[in-house]
Amino acid sequence: MGKTKISSLGEFGLIEHLTKVFNTKDPSVVRAFGDDTAFVDFSKLSSSLKGGFLLFTVDTLVEGRHFLRWYPPASVGWKLVSVNVSDIAAKGGRPLFGMITLALPKYIELSYVEELYKGINQALDFYNFDLLGGNTTSSHLIMLDFPIVGHAKRLVFRDKPRVGDYIYVSPYLGDSLAGLELLLERKRDYKPYEKMLIEKHLRPTARLDLAPVVEKYATASMDISDGFISDLRKMLKNLSAEIFLEEIPLSEELKTYCLQRKKDPLYYALKGGEDYQLLITSKEDLTKFGLKKVGKITAPEGGKIIDARSGKVISIEGFDHLRV
Amino acid sequence: MGKTKISSLGEFGLIEHLTKVFNTKDPSVVRAFGDDTAFVDFSKLSSSLKGGFLLFTVDTLVEGRHFLRWYPPASVGWKLVSVNVSDIAAKGGRPLFGMITLALPKYIELSYVEELYKGINQALDFYNFDLLGGNTTSSHLIMLDFPIVGHAKRLVFRDKPRVGDYIYVSPYLGDSLAGLELLLERKRDYKPYEKMLIEKHLRPTARLDLAPVVEKYATASMDISDGFISDLRKMLKNLSAEIFLEEIPLSEELKTYCLQRKKDPLYYALKGGEDYQLLITSKEDLTKFGLKKVGKITAPEGGKIIDARSGKVISIEGFDHLRV
């Protein structure tokens, strides 16, 4: 519909126009969209889930903060879903239902919103769950919210790993930050390895494939959204750990990027956020699942993260959304 | 903490600071806040709910659109919860769990956010349900999202009432729009009736008290957020109805306001949005529950809303968030 502005459709027209693309898969969904609330048949849901735990999460993408207007809208939609599924995956669960809040400037083009929804729809298909409804409103900037309800068979918290547990991460770390730097350069042409890194920033994949590993083996688990060291600190709280820096998983693309620019790939891997890889602790050997063994919980107190080789404290600060 | 800016606490400090005030009441909640997701024990929930339907809804308040920075923040927090509970009440249900997204400018004062949370907390106590978690992010303007999961014993849709059903509304309509006009005048002193109307706009109460009536008697039900005529059109779709205009519930405060300013209170009642009263259809007499019988579904087609006395079509347009 080319240069059509969303204001010409109005709120209700826009919702109707966009929700045509969604079909619910879960047989417990009685009605999604078009009512004050969505309806899910609780008895059907109960018999399909058989106990366990419901998981609730919500994460947001705000224009100017998490993305810019010129980013491909389909990638923004994909990422919106992925960052929320990532939280569910980190608990060893699977997503059941999502909802969406779409705050949009009145004069944005309909084609932008259609592309955005294309990305959301691709992600819903990929992660295999349903969008139940949502709301649209006008706003001076684009803001997207995507609450998810998921399900897990057992409780896996993000904190309280045990002393003696190994620390695992899924590969790779640091790609997203390098990709962001490249993206913001706005070059006309990118080399293949650069495109790859940019893609990691724009379209991260939630590690839902690892949810069964978390469910079976994790003593603690969380996703790495703010940076490895920053998130590890949240996991450890007062525990201490040593890190095997040489085991931190670095992609070939990140190594090439850092070589070209005389930068340290470890800096990206330890500090960079938004990789949406998983940080898992376990007594078991999880390397057979593609996870990298990057450290060990060493003491119940002290709250120190130490480089196992040098014995020095690792002090790179992570990313904190509200600090100036 | 007076003039403390939230940026001095950081995202994690802010969450920790604010979530101290919340205590969960529902025994099925295993963990709220402080993890990638919240956890609810599904077996406990199932045995307390015994079937029925889960309801999902999400509604948003955006600064500059739904409220202004100088509005009392506690009222913004109260309203955020109320507009979402209103959707649940309209389905004859009760809210179970809420989540919150809080997008805030970095330089906002901590006292603002504390007041906001005070209002949220008051509403959670009043409507008696739990906040499970949420996220904070920085943004150039304040944006608040509040997804709720609720529960209802049976399905009550917003559309498909039957021909012959009466149309009911809960009192009063139009107060919120009058209150908004008064609020925006920013007078130093307001008369008592003016204060009352302003309060109706700033702190609407979701009609959760009427949920049992909806559950028992409604053939269709929705909340009136965009205006009586506009919302009735959504309910009727292709059905036709006649309206008893003299039965539209008008508060004494609205009548006084309109008398003073030579305005028509019916205009406010039919067009004004954000009253969050309920619009219910039923064959039964529901006036004993305090509802006003304001019309009747007359024909299965035509899609016309007619003034029962004059026979003329009522054509006041409602409020549509994305139209220019």
Residues of chain A found within 8 Å of residue B139, distances taken between Cβ atoms: 62, 64-65, 141, 143
Greatest alpha-carbon span in chain B: 63
Q: A41 in contact with B at a CB cutoff of 8 Å?
A: yes
A59 sits in which H/E element:
none
**Residue A24 pLDDT grade (very low, low, confident, very high; cuts 50, 70, 90):** confident
The model carries a pTM of 0.92
**Residue B319 pLDDT grade (very low, low, confident, very high; cuts 50, 70, 90):** very low
How far does B87 lie from chain A, in Å, by closest CA? Answer: 5
Q: B45 in contact with A at a CB cutoff of 8 Å?
A: yes
Could you read off the pLDDT of A133-187 as tens digits, one per residue? 888 899 999 999 999 999 999 999 999 899 999 999 999 999 999 999 999 999 9
pLDDT of residue A309: 93
Identity at B267, one-letter amino acid code = Y
Partner-chain contact B137 A104, CB within 8 Å: no
- Evaluate if residue A224 carries a pLDDT over 80: yes
Tokens of B192: 């008592």
Residues of chain B found within 8 Å of residue A99, distances taken between Cβ atoms: 56-58, 147
Partner-chain contact B91 A37, CB within 8 Å: yes
pLDDT of residue B19: 62
Tokens of A167: 């620390």
How far does A119 lie from chain B, in Å, by closest CA? Answer: 21
E strand map for chain A: 29-31, 38-41, 53-57, 60-62, 94-104, 130-138, 143-145, 148-152, 166-169, 220-224, 240-243, 277-282, 292-299, 305-307
**Residue B18 pLDDT grade (very low, low, confident, very high; cuts 50, 70, 90):** low
Q: B31 in contact with A at a CB cutoff of 8 Å?
A: yes
pLDDT of residue A324: 39
Partner-chain contact B14 A100, CB within 8 Å: no
State CA B132 to chain mean position distance. 20
Q: B223 in contact with A at a CB cutoff of 8 Å?
A: yes
Residues of chain A found within 8 Å of residue B58, distances taken between Cβ atoms: 99-101, 133-135, 145, 147
**Domains annotated on chain B, with CATH:** 6-152 (3.30.1330.10), 166-307 (3.90.650.10)
Could you read off the pLDDT of B111-123 as tens digits, one per residue? 999 999 999 999 9
Classify strands A305-307 and B148-152 as parallel, antiparallel or unpaired.
unpaired
Partner-chain contact A37 B150, CB within 8 Å: yes
SS3 content of chain A, % helix, strand, coil (to 5): 35, 25, 40
Q: B59 in contact with A at a CB cutoff of 8 Å?
A: yes
User: How far apart are the C-alpha atoms of B70 and B93, rounded to whole Å?
Assistant: 34
User: How far apart are the C-alpha atoms of B158 and A38, rounded to whole Å?
Assistant: 11
Residues of chain B found within 8 Å of residue A56, distances taken between Cβ atoms: 37-38, 40, 97, 99, 132-133, 149
Other C-beta atoms within 10 Å of B1: how many?
12
Q: B88 in contact with A at a CB cutoff of 8 Å?
A: yes
Nearest residue of chain B to residue A134 (CA atoms): B58
Could you read off the pLDDT of A131-143 as tens digits, one per residue? 998 888 999 999 9
Residues of chain A found within 8 Å of residue B56, distances taken between Cβ atoms: 37-38, 40, 97, 99, 132-133, 149
Residues of chain A found within 8 Å of residue B138, distances taken between Cβ atoms: 62, 65, 321-322
Partner-chain contact A103 B64, CB within 8 Å: no
pLDDT of residue B134: 86
Strand arrangement, sheet containing B305-307: B220-224, B277-282, B166-169, B292-299, B240-243, B305-307
Question: Omega into A172 within 30° of 0, i.e. cis?
Answer: yes
Q: B109 in contact with A at a CB cutoff of 8 Å?
A: no
Partner-chain contact A58 B147, CB within 8 Å: yes
Q: Which of B91, B101, B159 sits opposite A60 (nearest CB)?
A: B101
* 3-state secondary structure (DSSP) of residue B9: coil
Q: A132 in contact with B at a CB cutoff of 8 Å?
A: yes
User: How far apart are the C-alpha atoms of A19 and A148, rounded to whole Å?
Assistant: 18
Could you read off the pLDDT of A286-314 as tens digits, one per residue? 999 999 999 999 999 999 999 999 999 98
List alpha helices for chain B, DSSP H.
10-19, 42-49, 73-90, 110-127, 175-185, 192-202, 211-217, 228-236, 252-260, 265-271
Nearest residue of chain A to residue B134 (CA atoms): A58
Q: What is the ipTM of this complex?
A: 0.91
Q: Which of A51, A65, A138 sits opposite B43 (nearest CB)?
A: A51
Which position has the token pair 């009253």? B275
Q: A52 in contact with B at a CB cutoff of 8 Å?
A: yes
